[in-house]
Amino acid sequence: MALRTVFTELLGVRHPIVSAPMGGAAGGELAAAVSNGGGLGLVGASRADADWVSDELAIVSARTEKPWGVGFLSWGADVSAVERALEFEPDAIMLGFGDPRPFLPAIRATDAKLLLQVTDMAEVEDALAVGADVLVVQGAESGGHGARQGRSTLTFVPAVLDRAGTVPVLAAGGISDGRGLAAVLALGAAGAMLGTRFQATPEATVNAAVHAAVAAATGADTERSSVLDIIRDAPWPRRWTARTLRHPALDRWRDRETELAQDNSAKSDYRDAVRRGDYPAEPVWAGEAIDNIDAVVPARELVESLAAEAEAALLRATAGRTAE
Ligand SMILES: Cc1cc2nc3c(=O)[nH]c(=O)nc-3n(C[C@H](O)[C@H](O)[C@H](O)COP(=O)(O)O)c2cc1C
């Protein structure tokens, strides 16, 4: 049984699996490996400049003949970087977190499919209004940034499906194995986007300490907050918080964001701690579905095993049997 969906048909991929465009973690090597495994690999350009985009997209386009794409942060990306990306003829452009309109003329002048990541119902309405080809519906379990008052994937995805009509929906947030993929397919989603799981691959551009931390932690060790954005002076709009692993600064400043925002010495203490090596350079972005991530697995292999596990889970469910 192949997991064919409207999404696999639309993008011409074998499996309904997409690797998230993780800023700082998903370069051309990861995207190419995911695409070669039969998923859709996305480069995480976030708000990188056009030169970085060129370097990474040269890598992905050289390493795979399969469909691939690239994702940007709408609140921070330059139209010129998106235009540069389009010169590499990606099969998909994903935008999220902000107004997609400034980028649409350039994207719509090409054949790239437009994936819009949405974190609440207002964003869903907006994404449908601008003609998204695919909605990526992100629940609050997700790693990295997401809605401050986010919905759970299990309830948000069906609510969006009831609104989306024929527009394919991918579920994102809290999916890290084939059972999760099977669950969202059973809800009616056309596939899943996974971030945290793909961070634990050798192709992700994160260091060994991040791999070790992700492998050791459980969902209970993750927390959604603005503290680490504020203390790093990150320019993220406050309506989106980030889910990360535990961090001493979170324990110190939890529920005191307004005070922290005005405390320049706390921010310089944080920078000093990073310089001394007491804190990691970046927080470890990770989602709730981290419990079962205990090994670093090559991305191509991971895509294939996620698809096989999902098929097995769906067969078990329809046969009315329980997992062995
Ligand atoms: C390390 C990391 C970095 C991320 N960076 C971005 C990003 O730059 N742009 C973006 O749209 N989403 C980003 N995300 C969120 C993903 O797009 C996706 O919604 C999320 O990973 C899904 O949840 P999961 O981590 O539980 O799989 C990031 C997620 C992680 C884990």
**Digit-coded pLDDT (tens) for 56-114:** 999 999 999 999 999 999 999 999 999 999 999 999 999 999 999 999 999 999 999 99
Q: Ligand 1 centroid vs 324 CA: distance in angstroms? A: 32
User: What three-state secondary structure class fits 242?
Assistant: strand
Q: What's the chain's average pLDDT?
A: 96
Instruction: Please give the order of strands across the beta sheet that includes 222-225.
Output: 144-147, 240-245, 222-225
Answer whether residue 260 shows pLDDT above 90: yes
Given pLDDT bands bounded at 50, 70 and 90, which one contains residue 280?
confident
Q: Is 16 in the pocket of ligand 1 (CB under 6 A)?
A: no
User: What three-state secondary structure class fits 171?
Assistant: strand
pLDDT of residue 102: 98
Q: Is 35 in the pocket of ligand 1 (CB under 6 A)?
A: no
Write 95-102 long-range contacts (CB < 8 A, 24+): 95/71, 96/71, 96/136, 96/138, 97/73, 97/145, 97/237, 97/240, 98/73, 98/74, 98/237, 99/74, 99/75, 100/74, 100/127, 100/130, 101/130, 102/74
pLDDT of residue 236: 96
Answer whether residue 322 shows pLDDT above 70: no
Q: Is 180 in the pocket of ligand 1 (CB under 6 A)?
A: no
Q: Indicate which residue's Cα is closest to atom 4 of ligand 1.
A: 22
For 301-317, what is the mean pLDDT? 97
Our mutation pick for probing the ligand 1 site, out of 95, 134, 142, 201, counting the most ligand atoms within 8 A of Cβ, is 142
Answer whether residue 320 shows pLDDT above 70: no
pLDDT tens for residues 59-70?
A: 999 999 999 999
Given pLDDT bands bounded at 50, 70 and 90, which one contains residue 281?
confident
Answer whether residue 167 shows pLDDT above 60: yes
For 107-127, what is the mean pLDDT? 98
Q: What sign does the CA torsion over 225, 226, 227, 229 have?
A: positive
Residues 216 and 293: beta-carbon distance below 8 Å: no
Q: Is 46 in the pocket of ligand 1 (CB under 6 A)?
A: yes
Provide the 8-state DSSP code for 221: G
Closest CA to 141 of 96, 193, 95, 74: 193
pLDDT of residue 55: 96
pLDDT, greater one: 281 or 64: 64
User: How many whole angstroms separate alpha carbon 207 and alpha carbon 188?
Assistant: 36
**Which ligand 1 atom lies nearest to the CA of residue 176?**
27
Residues 149 and 164: beta-carbon distance below 8 Å: no
Q: Is 70 in the pocket of ligand 1 (CB under 6 A)?
A: no
Q: How much is the pTM?
A: 0.97
Q: What percent of the chain has pLDDT over 70?
A: 98
Given pLDDT bands bounded at 50, 70 and 90, which one contains residue 324?
low
pLDDT of residue 319: 87
Structure tokens at 299: 């991305």
Q: What sign does the CA torsion over 130, 134, 135, 138 have?
A: negative
pLDDT of residue 1: 64
Q: What percent of the chain has pLDDT over 90?
A: 95
Question: In DSSP terms, which residues pair with 94 in a beta bridge?
Answer: 71, 115
Given pLDDT bands bounded at 50, 70 and 90, which one contains residue 318?
confident
Each residue of 239-276: b (16+ CB within 10 Å) or e? Answer: ebbbbbbebebbeebeeebeebbeeeebbeebeeeeee
Q: Indicate which residue's Cα is closest to atom 15 of ligand 1.
A: 144
Q: Is 138 in the pocket of ligand 1 (CB under 6 A)?
A: yes
Residues 273 and 282: beta-carbon distance below 8 Å: no
Residues 224 and 245: beta-carbon distance below 8 Å: no
Structure tokens at 68: 């691939």
pLDDT of residue 323: 53
For 219-226, what is the mean pLDDT? 97
Answer whether residue 21 shows pLDDT above 70: yes
